[in-house]
């Protein structure tokens, strides 16, 4: 069975500082990995995805993530955050042959302070 662990429930950071949101997964089969963002009182928006190929993937709003198969990780990074990045971020995994069902982590709340 697959599972996703987001290692930090909350991450406070100052504006213009770098940030890393950590995600680890567990799976016995090859996986596809995603990061979603949820702004307050809104639905989920796809930030980026890893399906295959280059392990460094770039997404919207200046975010990027690196797939590390040996460490079963898919950490999300941004070199300089803005107040507008304040939101909840979800890591998710799916796998081939699984009806594209997503398994989500519990989420990390990013709070950017001025």
Partner 1 sequence: DAGITQSPRHKVTETGTPVTLRCHQTENHRYMYWYRQDPGHGLRLIHYSYGVKDTDKGEVSDGYSVSRSKTEDFLLTLESATSSQTSVYFCAISTDSYEQYFGPGTRLTVT
The strand ranges marked E within the chain are 3-6, 10-14, 19-21, 23-26, 31-38, 44-50, 56-58, 64-68, 73-78, 87-95, 103-104, 108-113
Of 74, 53, 52, nearest in space to 63 by CA: 74
Q: Does 11 bind partner 1 (CB under 8 A)?
A: no
Of 25, 10, 13, 35, nearest in space to 114 by CA: 13
Q: Which residues between 18 and 47 bind partner 1 (CB under 8 A)?
A: 32, 34, 42-46
Q: Which stretch binds partner 1 (CB under 8 A): 15-23, 60-68, 78-86, 97-105?
A: 97-105
Which of 25, 105, 110, 112 touches partner 1 (CB under 8 A)?
105
Which of 21, 90, 110, 112 touches partner 1 (CB under 8 A)?
90
Which of 21, 35, 74, 107 touches partner 1 (CB under 8 A)?
107
Can you give the binding site for partner 1, defined by CB under 8 A? 6, 9, 32, 34, 42-46, 49, 51, 90, 92, 94, 99-107
């Amino acid at each position: 069975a697959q599972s996703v662990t987001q290692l930090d429930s909350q991450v406070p950071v100052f504006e213009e500082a770098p940030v890393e949101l950590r995600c680890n997964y567990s799976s016995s089969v090859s996986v596809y990995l995603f990061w979603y963002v949820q702004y307050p009182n809104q639905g989920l928006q796809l930030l980026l995805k890893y399906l295959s190929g280059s392990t460094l993937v770039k997404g919207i709003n200046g975010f990027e993530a690196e797939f590390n198969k040996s460490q079963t990780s898919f950490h999300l990074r941004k070199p300089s955050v803005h107040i507008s990045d304040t939101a909840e971020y979800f890591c998710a995994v799916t796998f081939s042959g699984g009806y594209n069902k997503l398994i989500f982590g519990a989420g990390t709340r990013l709070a950017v302070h001025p």
